[in-house]
A and B are shown apart, each in its own frame.
Chain A
Amino acid sequence: MLGAYLTRFSDTIGNGWNQFWFKRESPQTISILRIVVGLVALIYALSFTSELALWFSDGGILPADRTYRLTGADDPTVSVYYWSLFYLVHTPSALYVLHAVGLLSILSFTLGFQTRVSAVIAAIFVISYAERAPMLAGLLEPLLCPVLLYMCLAPSGAYYSIDAWLRKRSGNDQPVADSYAAHIAVRLIQLHVVAFYLMMGLSKLGGISWWNGNAMWWLMAQPDHRLVDLTFLRGEKLRLLVFAWTHLVVLFELVFGLLIWFRIWRPLLTVLAIFHWLGLGLVTGHWEFAILMSGLSLAFAPWQTLAEPVEEAVQQSIAEQPLSRPSPETAEASV
């Protein structure tokens, strides 16, 4: 009896695992995600432009030898695995040449030009920016880097790209074949996004200010971080909104991580995510992370759920038409 249960258990888990990971999927979703991720990566790389040489050239704030000392890489007894192309150049002109190559590769990836190659180069550059001075990294880098790596696995330039336009212009109107790689990449992004939501929600539960409702106030009371001043909410009649907002932030992050796996919730949670991240982005100043988190909700393809009832309704209305006669192909398909 136990043996039968264990067999059934392993069969069920194994089939579930296979169905979750190993399917062919249209590269449309991963192509949409390419645009979102590419735009955020472009903003991230551009943010280094104005003070790149001030930061990283010899005589700058963090030249390579100082970064090595700060990370412990100068100590042979310490294992440090940070790497960056920007460690290889030291003069302002060389830094800006490398930066220009990085920007072009990320732009090429975003537009979907030679996407298979540009995705890899863009990922190398984004990791290089992030790891050149890891002590400067914020919320964005640990999400942007893995998502870009997942993009390298899949044909993310198959749709909505210059590659697709060039393919069409050369007379190839065939739809792009569904792909296992596209499906695995989308699944990895989904899991990573959910892990981040749950991590953010659960870590808040460890702080008393998220329980007593004050956390959003402490965030909006920091004048240099915030993008908009919402401190008028301290008013006697409005402060309830601050407490409610604090609780809603925790609730949403926990709920998103759980309910997004149910298709019917996806459109609603995607819309709510936009408001959630808009609010947090404005209050905390982490607006580029907010854009990425909002955009990555699209990994769950909420438009497919929206389309489902329409298709069903159309099919139902066709079936209910007394005079409509199904074509032989339709009849065969319905069988």
Chain B
Amino acid sequence: MASNNPPSSDSSDSDSLGSTTRSILSLVLFIYLFVMWVVVSSSLGGNHASLAQDKLLPLFQPLTETLNLDVRASPYNLYSGNPEDYEHFFRIELTNPAGQVQTYQVPGPMLGSGLKDPYRYERLAKIVAMQAEISEDRIPAEICMGIGEYFLRQAGGGKVSLQCIRRRPQPMQLDIDGQQYSPDPRDASYEDIKYRATVLVDSEGAFQLIKQMADEHVAPVE
């Protein structure tokens, strides 16, 4: 894209850079901007990139992943109306070795109270819920195991029951066609349990996760 033509009055400065240098820089910039354009535009339709983008993105992956340029995993539209935009969290029931039961929420004071930690635990809860919905067990199990292990170590054993909960946002009007909605946005009526598992220490001292329930797709009732 670099021009070798007689300079206009404004381009005398750019000409002092040298034609070869400008050409090399232009090529690098052009390729980089093309990569960025493909990456950024592929995020516009949520997870629905075109076939051309799907072919190109793996080619650019060594650059975009290495330099953390990929934008597709982040919700830049802020709200799309899909359940993945709702709040997600874990509810933990810890049964300590003495048999006492305590309930915690993650993120919460016990885990996830740092500056941006609530957001990070919420991301994990969101991944668990989304993966459970497509009947993918491995990733929810890995994440719940990590959280369960933490609570078991704190309690010195026992058993942890985890629930991954999605909270639907409260509608603007609390009375829609005769249906009443709770004025408390954290009311249990807004909650859906998407995944449930128990983490415990087996007789050999190893941590075990037992899945109890995962939300699954249900065919619409006609």
Contacts and interface: CB of A to CB of B under 8 A. Distances in A.
A171 interface: no
B26 interface: yes
Interface in B23-77: 25-26, 29, 33, 36-37, 40-41, 43-46, 58, 61-62, 65-71, 73-77
Interface stretch (B95-103, B138-146, B156-164, B212-220): B138-146
Interface string A17-47: 1110111100000000000000000011011
Contacts of B46: 203, 206
Interface of A is mostly: helix
Of A130, A134, A206, chain B has the most CB atoms within 10 Å of the CB of A206
Interface string A125-168: 00100110111111101100110010000000000000000000
Nearest to A209: B81
B123 interface: yes
B139 A138 contact: no
A38 B138 CA distance: 38
Contact of A59 (B58, B79, B116, B149): B149
Contact of B74 (A66, A137, A209, A285): A137
Contacts of B33: 191
A190 B113 CA distance: 35
Contacts of B79: 207, 209-210, 215, 218-219
Contact of A222 (B14, B81, B87): B87
B170 interface: yes
Contacts of B115: 43, 46-47, 49-50
Interface residues of B, number: 82
A239 interface: yes
Given A13-B1, A202-B44, A288-B116, A218 B66 contact: no
Contacts of A18: 1-3, 11, 14-15, 22
Interface in B138-189: 138-139, 142-143, 145-147, 149-150, 153, 167, 169-173, 185-186
B78 A66 contact: no
B25 A21 contact: yes
B85 interface: yes
Contacts of B171: 221
A200 B77 CA distance: 5
Contact of B77 (A43, A49, A80, A204): A204
B209 interface: no
A54 B150 contact: yes
B172 A136 contact: no
Of A180, A203, A222, chain B has the most CB atoms within 10 Å of the CB of A203
A70 interface: yes
B193 interface: no
Contact of A47 (B5, B67, B117, B139): B117
Contacts of B58: 79
Nearest to B62: A81
A46 to B, nearest CB: 6
Nearest to A201: B77
B123 A180 contact: no
B127 interface: yes
Contacts of A180: 17
A221 B170 contact: yes
Contacts of A208: 81
A83 interface: yes
A24 B120 CA distance: 42
A17 B2 contact: yes
B93 interface: no
B8 interface: yes
A228 interface: no
Contact of B67 (A49, A127, A210, A231): A127
Given A18-B3, A207-B79, A141 B68 contact: yes
A332 B17 CA distance: 28
B222 interface: no
8 contacts: A14-B1, A66-B142, A131-B68, A135-B73, A136-B124, A200-B76, A206-B77, A224-B167
Q: Which 4 A-B pairs have the closest CB atoms?
A: A14-B3, A22-B14, A50-B114, A47-B115
Given A138-B119, A221-B171, 14 more contacts: A11-B3, A54-B150, A61-B143, A66-B146, A127-B68, A137-B74, A146-B69, A191-B36, A196-B40, A206-B80, A207-B81, A222-B86, A222-B169, A223-B186
